[in-house]
Amino acid sequence: MLKVCASISLGLVLGQITSHAQGYAPAAPAGSAPASAGMSAPVGGMFESNTFLEMASRAFDPSSDSMDFENGSFAWKGRTFNLTSQRAFRARFERFLLASPTEEEESYALLMNDVLQRLSVANDRSDDAILETWEMLFRAARFDTDGGNSTIVANQVFNAWRIRKEMRGTALTQRELADMRRHQQTVVANRALMLEKLKEKKQRESVRQTSEKEGNSEHTTFPTEGAFRALELAETEAKLIAMEGQAALTGIQAKLQMQSQIVAFLVQRRYQHALLLSGFYQLLFKGSQQQLEVGKGELKSFFPNTDMVFTVDMMAFVANEAITDVNKGVDAVNTAYAEDRAIIALERLQETFFLGEYMPELNAIPVEQRRMLLDLYRDMMEAVELAEAKDYNGVAQYAERIALIAKDFPLMRVLSSVETAKSMSDMAVFAASQYRNLGDIDKARAELQQAIDIWPSNPSIREFQQETTKLATAGSQGVQIFDDLYKRGDHRGIYDRRMDLGFALAEDTERQPLLMEVIEQVSTIDLLVAQSAEALKQGDPYVAWELLAEAAKFDPDDAPMNRARAELAPRVADFVVYLDRAQRQAAEAQHAGSLAGFLAAQDIYPASRMCREGIERQSSALMAHLSEQAEAAEE
Amino acid sequence: MPPLKPAKSRRPASIWSAVSLIVSLFAVALTSGCGDNFSDLEVLPTESYMKKPSDFLGNTYTIRAQIDSQVKWEKGVGRILAVLPESGGARLPVFVPDAVGGNLHIGQRYEMRARIEAGGLIYVESLRKY
pLDDT in tens, A550-592: 999 898 889 999 999 999 999 999 999 999 999 999 998 889 9
A572/chain B closest Cα distance in angstroms: 16
Q: How far apart are the first and last CA of chain B?
A: 61
The chain A residue lying nearest B53, using CA atoms, is A593
In the prediction, which pLDDT does A563 show? Answer: 92
Best A585, A588, A595, A627 residue to mutate vs chain B (most B CBs within 10 Å): A595
Residue B81: list chain A partners with CB under 8 A: none
- The residue ranges of chain A whose pLDDT is under 70 are 1-52, 56-57, 62-67, 69-73, 78-79, 82-85, 121-123, 169-174, 207-226, 243-251, 286-309, 473-476
pLDDT of A236 reads 74
Burial class of residue A437, CB neighbours in 10 A (0-12, 13-18, 19+): middle
Smallest CA–CA distance from A603 into chain B, residue:
B90
Q: From CA A107, how far away is CA A270, in angstroms rounded?
A: 18
A179 in contact with B, Cβ within 8 Å = no
Query: Best of B50, B66, B73, B83 to disrupt the A interface by mutation (most A CBs within 10 Å)?
Result: B50
Measured between beta carbons, the chain A residues lying within 8 angstroms of B76 are 630
Residue A74 region by backbone torsions, left for phi larger than 0, else alpha for psi between -120 and 50, else beta: beta
pTM score of the predicted model: 0.47
Per-residue model confidence (pLDDT) at position A508: 81
Distance CA A145, CA A127 (A): 29
Q: Do B119 and A596 touch (CB under 8 A)?
A: no
Q: Nearest Cα to A133, choosing from A32, A280, A29, A341? A: A280
Give a three-class secondary structure readout of chain B.
CCCCCCHHHCCCHHHHHHHHHHHHHHHHHHHHHHCCCCCCCEECCHHHHHHCHHHHCCCEEEEEEEEEEEEEEECCCEEEEEEEECCCCCCEEEEEECCCCCCCCCCCEEEEEEEECHHHCEEEEEEEEC
Closest Cα of chain B to A570: distance in Å? 19
Residue A303 carries which DSSP code? S
Q: Is A497 exposed, middle or buried (0-12, 13-18, 19+ CB in 10 A)?
A: middle
Interface of A with B in 569-628 (CB under 8 A): 578, 581, 585, 589-593, 595-597, 599-600, 602-603, 615, 619-620, 622-623, 625-627
> Chain B: nearest CA to A567, how far in angstroms?
25
The span from the CA of B127 to the CA of B130, in Å, is 9
Interface check for B69 against chain A (CB to CB < 8 A): the answer is no
A interface mutation test: which of B55, B71, B81 has the most A CBs within 10 A? Answer: B71
Q: How many angstroms away from the CA of A554 is the closest CA of chain B?
A: 29
ipTM of the complex: 0.76
- Quick check: A627 and B72 CB within 8 A? no
Are the Cβ atoms of A599 and B92 closer than 8 angstroms?
yes
pLDDT number for residue A210: 60
Give the pairing of strands B60-74 and B109-116.
antiparallel
* Minimal Cβ distance to B53: which of A596, A615, A630: A596
Pick the residue of A604, A623, A634, A635 with the most B CBs within 10 A to test the interface with B by mutation.
A623
> pLDDT tens for residues B76-91?
899 999 999 998 889 9
* Alpha-carbon gap, residue A267 to A259, rounded angstroms: 13
Contact assignment for B49 to A597 by CB distance below 8 Å: no
Q: Is B72 on the interface with A (CB under 8 A)?
A: yes
Of A596, A602, A619, the CB nearest to B92: A596
Residues in chain B: 130
A-chain residue closest to B93, CA distance: A596
Q: Which residue of A has its CA nearest to B69?
A: A599
pLDDT (0 to 100) of residue B24: 64
- Of the candidates A463, A493, A466, A465, the one whose C-alpha atom is nearest the C-alpha of residue A478 is A493
Q: Which of B76, B78, B80 sits opposite A619 (nearest CB)?
A: B80
Radius of gyration over every alpha carbon of chain A, rounded to an integer in angstroms: 52
What stretches in chain B show pLDDT beneath 70? Answer: 1-14, 17-39
Predicted pLDDT at A302: 64
